[in-house]
Amino acid sequence: MVLRFFSFFFYYFGIADMSEQLSIYALAIRTLDGAAPKTVALDYLIDNKVPVAKSYTSTRNDDDFRVVLARIENAAEVIEKGAYTPARPTDWQCSLKWCGFFRSCRFAKQPKTMNLGGPQ
C-alpha cells in the first residue's frame, strides 16, 4: 500500500521525511491493516504560470512509530495536566481571526484601542 496525501500548502525538500501527519497516518494503517505502507507521500500543486505537480515520498518504520507515539503520549500528558504552553503573541495563529479561543484565552494579547477624538 502507498499512502498519498495531497496538499496545496507548504512544500520543501524533506517535508515528507519530517511530517508527523504522514507518520500518524502510516501508524494508523499499520494498526488497522497489520502492515505499514511501503511509502508515504505528499503531493503538491505549485501555482506557477504553468502549474507544477510535485511529489515528495518517504518511508516509515518502527523507529518512526516509536517517535510519533512518544510525541502523542507526551501531548496526552500535557492535556491531562492542563499544562498548556501558549502560542507566542507574534504567532500568526494567536489572533482573533485564526483562534477560536482568542477572546477567552488569558494568554491572548488583545488588540489595543485608542480614541481618535470625537464624543467619549
Interface positions with ligand SF4 (CB under 6 A): 86-87, 93-94, 99, 101-102, 105, 107-108
Nearest to residue 10, comparing CAs of 43, 49, 58? Answer: 43
Give the shortest CB-101-to-ligand SF4 separation in angstroms.
Answer: 4
Q: Measured from the CB atom, is 1 or 75 closer to ligand SF4?
A: 75
Q: Measured from the CB atom, is 29 or 99 closer to ligand SF4?
A: 99
Give the shortest CB-21-to-ligand SF4 separation in angstroms.
Answer: 20
CA 22 from centre of chain: 11
Q: At 37, which amino acid appears?
A: P
Give the shortest CB-24-to-ligand SF4 separation in angstroms.
Answer: 22
Q: Measured from the CB atom, is 41 or 87 closer to ligand SF4?
A: 87
Write the CA distances from 54 to 3, 14, 38, 39, integer angstroms. 15, 13, 19, 16
* Angle (CA) 39 42 46, round 5°: 150
Q: Measured from the CB atom, is 15 or 108 closer to ligand SF4?
A: 108
How many CB atoms lie under 10 A from the CB of residue 11?
16
Give the shortest CB-111-to-ligand SF4 separation in angstroms.
Answer: 12
